[in-house]
Chain A
Amino acid sequence: MDTFRDIIGALSVFVLPAMIVGIPLYGLVKKVPVYESFVEGGKEGFGLAVRIIPYLVAILFAIGMFRASGAMEWLAGALGPVLALIGMPAEVLPMAIVRPLTGSGSVAIVADLAAQYGETSLITRMASTMFGSTETTFYVIAVYFGAAGVSKTRHALPAGLLADVAAMLFAVWLCLLFFG
Chain B
Amino acid sequence: MLNYIWAGLIIVSLVFALASDIGDVVNDPYRNGQPLAVTLEFDRPYDADAPRQPVRLLIDSTAFRQAYGVDGTPQASYDATLRQSDDATELVLADAEAELPAPLDVIRGATNPRDQILQGTLSDLRLAPAASPPGTPTASGARATAALTFAPVRFVKLGAITTAAIDFAEVAVTIALGLIGVLVLFLGLSKIAEDAGIILALVKVVRPVLGPLFPEIPRDHPAMGMIALNLAANVFGLGNAATPFGVKAMEELQTLNPEPDTATNSMVMLLALNTASVQLIPPITLIAILGVETNNVYFPILFTTMGSLIVAILAAKGFGRLRRYRATDPLRHGPVATPEA
Contacts and interface: CB of A to CB of B under 8 A. Distances in A.
Interface of A: 1, 5, 8-9, 11-12, 15-16, 19-20, 23-24, 26-27, 29-30, 32, 34, 37-46, 48-50, 52-53, 56-71, 74, 100, 107, 110-111, 114, 119-120, 124-125, 128-137, 140-141, 143-145, 147-160, 162-164, 166-167, 170-171, 174-175, 178-179
Contacts of B280: 8, 12
A16 B244 CA distance: 14
B116 interface: no
Interface in B197-223: 197-198
B15 to A, nearest CB: 8
Contact of B160 (A68, A137, A152): A68
Contacts of B272: 156, 159-160, 163
Given A23-B198, A163-B276, A61 B169 contact: yes
Nearest to A74: B16
B63 interface: no
Contacts of A132: 279, 282-283, 286, 297, 301, 304-305
A110 to B, nearest CB: 5
A29 B195 CA distance: 12
A32 B196 CA distance: 6
Contacts of B125: none
Nearest to A20: B189
Interface residues of B, number: 110
B311 A149 contact: no
Nearest to A142: B172
26 contacts: A12-B238, A20-B185, A24-B192, A30-B195, A30-B197, A37-B191, A53-B176, A58-B6, A62-B6, A65-B9, A65-B168, A67-B164, A71-B16, A132-B283, A133-B301, A134-B308, A135-B276, A141-B271, A150-B250, A155-B1, A155-B322, A158-B1, A158-B315, A158-B319, A164-B275, A174-B300
Contacts of B105: none
Contact of B315 (A133, A162, A179): A162
Contacts of B315: 155, 158-159, 162-163
B251 A148 contact: yes
B320 interface: yes
B247 A134 contact: no
Max chain B CB contacts within 10 Å: which of A20, A34, A132? A132
Contacts of A43: 184
A170 B319 contact: no
Contacts of A160: 271-272, 275-276, 312
Contacts of B293: 119-120
B290 A119 contact: yes
B236 interface: yes
A57 B328 contact: no
Contacts of A133: 277, 300-302, 304-305, 308
Given A157-B2, A166-B307, 20 more contacts: A1-B299, A30-B197, A34-B192, A37-B192, A46-B180, A46-B183, A49-B176, A53-B173, A65-B9, A69-B160, A111-B289, A134-B308, A137-B275, A147-B247, A148-B250, A152-B261, A153-B263, A154-B262, A155-B316, A156-B271
A30 to B, nearest CB: 4
A145 B270 CA distance: 11
B172 A141 contact: no
B260 interface: yes
B12 interface: yes
A26 B190 CA distance: 12
A150 B268 CA distance: 11
Contact of B312 (A52, A157, A163, A178): A163
